[in-house]
């Protein structure tokens, strides 16, 4: 996509400083730049790159004050991150798209499956009996959709995704490569002889609309009933969500987090990387968890931040860590004091 500064400014409702006719055709990192690219400055940590970047256009906040000459044309906007997201969607729209309504001859679609208008199905994908795929959904190569799956409209199902029988996907969802939806939950009953007997997992997974799930994430089916992912949830790569978990609306979960069975996460929560939740917990709306935190009990108060394992109030953890890291020094001081006391006896 080739676009001028003037056209970009209109799209973003911004103001231009510099050459309004300069054109760009791709985004770049501010530290890398390159002629014909647009970059952005949102984090003050990168401010120095504003004066060295070779990008043609630099997106900045309206209150940005340059302390040196800036070579790129500036476009000032109210919110840099929102404008950037909008632009990346524009640039990305032309990349990796499949023609609508094209079903590859190598795809296997059961005669009792329902394929709506405008659906694309890639090479060697399989759609089994009783499944329904909504309008304009794109199914990339080597996807397996088992029996009686429901997929909404305008979804993107990337290569290698596996959706087990009876699961439901809402509208406008994105499932990245190798996501597994609806595998058996980890349910085993101990026996007297020390072995384990598998407990049948007869529920499903229900994913509501506008959900995005990162590569290699797994969401297990309910043992009875559903594992539910509410609308607007965003899940990173390599996340494990166990059977009968419920994730509330617009919650975001970073990579390598794990949520044990039957835990209920509230809406608008923010979960950092490698956070672990024990099973059968209830987590209040708006909770925030720093990376690598471990949560072993219910969180009842909404909109609080937590850190540590077991997790405690974020501010308390930071204060406690300030003491903890000084323990070796404190220990040495006590040792010296003990020696002086012994000598004085």
The dihedral over CA atoms of 154, 156, 157, 158, expressed in degrees to the nearest 10, equals 160
Tell me the mean pLDDT in the region 87-96.
70
Tell me, yes or no, whether 54 and 127 share the same domain. Answer: no
Tell me, yes or no, whether 19 and 46 share the same domain. Answer: yes
Tell me, yes or no, whether 78 and 118 share the same domain. Answer: no
Tell me, yes or no, whether 288 and 169 share the same domain. Answer: yes
Tell me, yes or no, whether 128 and 84 share the same domain. Answer: no
The dihedral over CA atoms of 119, 122, 124, 129, expressed in degrees to the nearest 10, equals -10
Tell me, yes or no, whether 217 and 136 share the same domain. Answer: yes
**Domain termination residue (choose one: 92, 121, 146):** 92
Pair 39, 51: CB distance under 8 Å? no
Number of domains in the chain: 2
Percentage, residues of the chain above pLDDT 90 = 86
Domain contains 133: yes
Say which of 144, 165, 176, 243 is annotated catalytic. Answer: 243
Q: What is the pLDDT of residue 95?
A: 58
Domain contains 342: no
Tell me the mean pLDDT in the region 116-135.
97
Is 144 catalytic? The answer is: no
Range of the domain at 186: 108-318
Q: How is the chain split among helix, strand and coil, in percent rounded to 5?
A: 15, 30, 55
Q: State the pTM of this model.
A: 0.81
Mean of the per-residue pLDDT values of the chain: 94
Domain contains 336: no
The 8-class DSSP code of residue 71 comes to -
Tell me, yes or no, whether 199 and 276 share the same domain. Answer: yes
Q: What is the pLDDT of residue 15?
A: 96
CATH of the domain at 184: 2.160.10.10
């Amino acid at each position: 996509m080739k676009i001028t500064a003037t056209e970009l400014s209109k799209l973003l409702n911004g103001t231009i400083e510099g050459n309004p006719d300069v054109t760009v055709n791709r985004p770049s990192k501010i530290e890398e730049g390159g002629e014909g690219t647009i970059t952005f400055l949102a984090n003050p940590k990168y401010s120095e790159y504003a004066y060295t970047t070779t990008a043609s256009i630099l997106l900045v906040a309206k209150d940005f004050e340059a302390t040196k000459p800036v070579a790129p044309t500036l476009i000032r906007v109210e919110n840099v991150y929102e404008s950037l997201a909008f632009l990346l969607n524009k640039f990305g729209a032309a990349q990796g798209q499949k023609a609508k309504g094209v079903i590859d001859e190598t795809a296997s679609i059961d005669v009792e499956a329902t394929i709506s208008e405008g659906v694309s199905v890639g090479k060697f994908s399989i759609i089994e009996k009783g499944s329904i795929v909504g309008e304009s959904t794109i199914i990339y190569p080597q996807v397996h959709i088992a029996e009686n799956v429901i997929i909404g409209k305008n979804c993107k199902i990337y290569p290698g995704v596996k959706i087990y029988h009876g699961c439901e996907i809402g509208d406008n969802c994105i499932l990245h490569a190798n996501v597994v939806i609806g595998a058996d939950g980890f349910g085993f009953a101990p026996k007297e002889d020390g072995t384990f007997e598998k407990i049948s997992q007869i529920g499903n997974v229900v994913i509501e609309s506008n959900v995005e799930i990162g590569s290699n994430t797994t969401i297990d089916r309910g043992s009875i009933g559903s594992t539910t992912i509410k609308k607007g949830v965003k899940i990173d790569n390599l996340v494990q969500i166990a059977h009968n978990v419920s994730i509330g609306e617009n919650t975001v979960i970073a990579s390598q987090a794990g949520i044990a069975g039957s835990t209920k996460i509230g809406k608008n929560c923010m979960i950092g990387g490698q956070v672990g939740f024990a099973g059968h917990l209830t987590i209040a709306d708006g909770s925030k968890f720093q990376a690598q935190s471990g949560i072993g009990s219910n969180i009842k108060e909404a909109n609080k931040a937590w850190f540590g394992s077991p997790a405690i109030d974020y501010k308390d953890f930071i204060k406690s860590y300030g003491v903890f890291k000084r323990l070796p020094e404190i220990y040495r001081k006590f040792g010296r004091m003990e020696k002086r006391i012994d000598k004085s006896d």
